[in-house]
A and B are shown apart, each in its own frame.
Chain A
Amino acid sequence: MSKDAPERVVDDPNVAMQDSPEFAQLRSKFRKFVFPLTALFLAWYFLYVLLSVFAKDFMGTRVIGNVTWGLILGLLQFVSTFTITMVYARWADRVFDPEAEALARKMGGQQ
Chain B
Amino acid sequence: MSALLTSAPSLVPSLAPAATTVGNPAINIGIFALFVVVTLAIVIRASRNNRSAAEYYAGGRAFTGRQNGIAIAGDYLSAASFLGIAGAIAINGYDGFLYSIGFLVAWLVALLLVAELLRNVGKYTMADVLSFRLRQRPVRIAAAISTLVVSFFYLLAQMAGAGGLVALLLGIEGALGQRLVIVVVGIIMIFYVIYGGMKGTTWVQIIKAVLLIIGAAIMTVWVLGKFGLNLSSLLGEATTASQDAGGKDLLQPGLQYKNPVDFISLSMALVLGTAGLPHVLMRFYTVPTSREARRSVVWAIWLIGIFYLFTLVLGFGAADLVGAKEIKNAPGGVNSAAPLLAFELGGEILLGIISAVAFATILAVVAGLTITASASLSHDIYNTVVKGGKATPEEEVKVARIAALVLGAIAIVGGIFALGQNIAFLVALAFAIAASANLPTILYSLFWKRFNTRGALWSIYGGLVSAITLIVFSPVVSGKAIDKVTGKSPSMLQGVDFHWFPLDNPGIISIPLGFVLGYIGTVTSKEYNAAKYAEMEVRSLTGHGAETATHH
Contacts and interface: CB of A to CB of B under 8 A. Distances in A.
> Do A and B form a real pair?
yes
A18 B542 CA distance: 11
Interface in B96-151: 97-98, 101-102, 104-105, 107-109, 111-113, 116
Contact of A67 (B235, B291, B305, B537): B235
A66 B232 contact: yes
A41 B105 CA distance: 8
Interface of A: 7-9, 12, 14-15, 17-18, 23, 26-27, 30-31, 34, 37-38, 41-42, 45-46, 48-50, 52-54, 56, 59-60, 62, 64-68, 70-71, 74-75, 77-78, 81-82, 84-86, 88-89, 92-93, 97, 100-101, 103-104, 107, 110-111
A99 B539 CA distance: 14
B298 to A, nearest CB: 5
A42 B270 CA distance: 12
B227 to A, nearest CB: 11
Contacts, number: 167
Interface in B496-551: 528, 530-531, 533-535, 537-539, 541-546, 548
B294 A89 contact: yes
A78 B254 CA distance: 21
A58 B116 CA distance: 39
A78 B531 contact: no
A32 B419 CA distance: 47
B264 A34 contact: no
A85 B108 contact: yes
Given A30-B541, A85-B111, A100-B543, A77 B104 contact: yes
Contacts of A30: 541
A67 B312 CA distance: 13
Nearest to A56: B253
A74 B94 CA distance: 10
Interface of B: 94, 97-98, 101-102, 104-105, 107-109, 111-113, 116, 230-233, 235-236, 239, 249, 251-254, 257, 260, 263-264, 267, 271, 291, 294-295, 297-298, 301-302, 305, 308-309, 447, 528, 530-531, 533-535, 537-539, 541-546, 548
Nearest to A49: B267
A48 B267 CA distance: 10
A89 B300 CA distance: 13
A81 B232 contact: no
Given A97-B291, A107-B538, A110-B545, 6 more contacts: A52-B263, A53-B257, A56-B254, A71-B251, A78-B101, A81-B108
Given A30-B541, A77-B104, A66 B233 contact: yes
Contact of A107 (B257, B305, B531, B542): B542
A14 B251 contact: no
Given A60-B251, A84-B108, A85-B301, A66 B98 contact: no
- The winner among B236, B253, B291 for most chain A CB atoms within 10 A is B253
Contacts of A84: 108, 112
A39 to B, nearest CB: 11
Given A46-B267, A74-B97, A14 B233 contact: no
A82 B97 contact: no
A70 B232 contact: no
A62 B528 CA distance: 57
